[in-house]
Copies of this chain bind each other. A is one copy, B any other.
């Protein structure tokens, strides 16, 4: 008999009917003989409603108070799920992040878990209970409630699975699994039965909205197999785990896209040491993620910097970069907010050359203009215009034979 950690997202517990259907699933798992720890998100739009209340009483909610406020959402869904399980005859208990022993650093709104004291959970499991843990939250050493920020509940689940040495972590949401491309763009995209942590991380960072990279990374570090499936049907999901079979190592695994990319170009900056740092440091200290950077040095000791940021960060980035550009004597600054990123991901790239060339060639023949191109060990990303995304994704999906069952790159 092992231990399974299951996590259900907000849409999976959107209303009391959905909570009851989650209870059915948990009981079915329990009946197979495994111990079950369940992590839940807040019901549907609870977080939005609470945030609205906060904005009604003040302009800029204090983050400590905001965390205490938001943490109630998961307490509500947890206790309701415990009640629904008891209604089905399954003994169950719900625990707040504090009660579950989840300690975090003192950084409200985006705290990281520092440790988990599993005593209470283990005690409740020993009593034959299903233990439900409120996701997304923990407490500081001073017992102040913190929330974990983006991907928080997934992170709670994977962290618990790691700490409790669970057989695996099952993440149920409205996402059915990992596909070779977004099925809304490529109707014949295939669902993958499994994928490696590394490939999943690249896909997630490249815009695939499956699971927050943070939770995948945690799973990777502690070797927690993560099964991603739908809570709305019983279709088979995707298992994220260690490197997949050797014989699959020659394939591209998927095409990801991020439709919301913006580009900033600072032209005519002096080509002296430290210039790049002075431009990018203000951005990183504000946690604005810079994706691709291209530097073009010209003959006259001046240089151009072009880099991309998420569209949602563009305004803030301009505000930070503009004064620096003036200070260092750059001649101009341009922005483009109509861009997107298309990425090809697969561990195969590590072993075989030619993927970048093939990607470049395929997009060129399809008439897709490539603004910038960056690569990692197992990923090739092209910055293209936003309107070119569907065509580019379809082209690459076909180029790498992802729709066929008999895969070959």
Mark out the residues of chain A between 7 and 38 whose CB falls within 8 Å of any chain B CB in the assembled complex.
16-17, 19-20, 23
Q: Is A276's beta carbon under 8 Å from chain B?
A: no
A57 near B84 with CB under 8 A, answer: yes
- For A93, the chain B residues whose CB sits under 8 A away are 64-65
A65 near B53 with CB under 8 A, answer: no
For chain A, the count of residues having a C-beta within 8 Å of the partner chain is 40
Integer count of this chain's copies in the complex: 2
Report Cα–Cα, A186/B20, bound state, in Å: 51
Q: Is A99's beta carbon under 8 Å from chain B?
A: yes
User: Which stretch of A72-80, A247-255, A334-342, A354-362 is in the interface?
Assistant: A72-80
Encode contact with B along A45-88: 1 for CB under 8 Å, 0 otherwise: 00000100110111101101110110110011011111110110
B65 near A94 with CB under 8 A, answer: yes
A86 near B62 with CB under 8 A, answer: yes
- For A98, the chain B residues whose CB sits under 8 A away are 98, 143
Residue in A17, A62, A64, A98 with the greatest tally of chain B CB atoms within 10 Å: A62
Report Cα–Cα, A80/B65, bound state, in Å: 8
Q: Is A96's beta carbon under 8 Å from chain B?
A: yes
Could you tell me which A residues sit within 8 Å of B by CB distance? 16-17, 19-20, 23, 50, 53-54, 56-59, 61-62, 64-66, 68-69, 71-72, 75-76, 78-84, 86-87, 93-94, 96, 98-99, 143-145
